[in-house]
Amino acid sequence: MSTKKEVFTIGSVEVEVVRKDIKNMHLAVYPPNGRVRLAAPVNTDLEVLRLFSISKLSWLKKNIKSFQNQARETVREYVSGESHYFQGNRYLLEVIHHNGYNKIEVVGNKINLYTKETTTTKDRAKAFKEWYRKELKKQIPDLIAKWETVIGVKANEWGVKQMKTKWGACNIEDKRIWLNLELAKKPVICLEYILVHELVHLLERNHNDKFIAHMDTFMPKWRLHRDELNSLPVVHNDWGY
């Protein structure tokens, strides 16, 4: 568990320090905007942390720039002819006016949105959000069952929610897995990678050599899946990301 947080700056890079009961320092850059976090042993001197970060400065700047230059989805208006993504595939939206409840279905290379003519952009965005959540929740149970067997762990609970800076999260004490709603848009293998990553945390809390060894064992191509996920366009801030 983290006991203390600090922030320092090297050059133009702000580094958040999270002190933990670990043996080695671990530096990471997180999407979507290149947030930098340094996990460090509890009693490590601040100057040691600064020098370690300075030694990685060119690597940090490269990764921060990569995230900041990452393609962003344009603002969606939820009108016919727009592109929308589902499970890694691109579909054209067809808005069909009717007097019933909102309904979304995939037909060929189109996503049909059945909605009242009077619905607002916000209403249509909400309909998409609910549909993505429902579809993602259909995918997850079989994938969890598959990977729990492979990894040899058991999650007590899982859920889907909007997350600003993470694709997934794991509450190790409660054995609860959270997955980012945006994964409904991404290729299924990317969803699997995040799920494996979070389940492996039930074996190893920290992103250390042991954690990486587990990932290499259970999903040897995880780095390819991670890079694919992080290269895909990230959502525009219309849902609060």
Tell me if 128 sits within 8 A of 104, measured CB to CB.
Answer: yes
Say yes or no to pLDDT of 8 above 50.
yes
Name which residue leads in pLDDT, 212 or 69.
Answer: 212
Say yes or no to pLDDT of 54 above 90.
yes
- Which region holds residue 180: left if phi is over 0, alpha if psi is between -120 and 50, else beta? beta
Name which residue leads in pLDDT, 236 or 240.
Answer: 236
Question: Can you tell me the mean pLDDT for 201-217?
Answer: 93
Say yes or no to pLDDT of 240 above 60.
no
Question: Can you tell me the mean pLDDT for 168-172?
Answer: 93
Burial of 46 (0-12, 13-18, 19+ CB in 10 A): exposed
Say yes or no to pLDDT of 239 above 80.
no
Q: Which residues contact 145 (CB under 8 A, 6 or more apart)?
A: none
The total of other beta-carbon atoms located within 10 Å of residue 107's CB is: 9
Q: Whole-structure pTM over 0.85, yes or no? A: no
Kindly list the structural domains of the chain, giving each domain's residue range(s) and its CATH number in brackets, ordered by start.
4-68 (no CATH), 83-231 (3.30.2010.10)
The secondary element (H helix, E strand) that includes residue 231 is: helix 222-231
3-class secondary structure for 37-59? EEEEECCCCHHHHHHHHHHCHHH
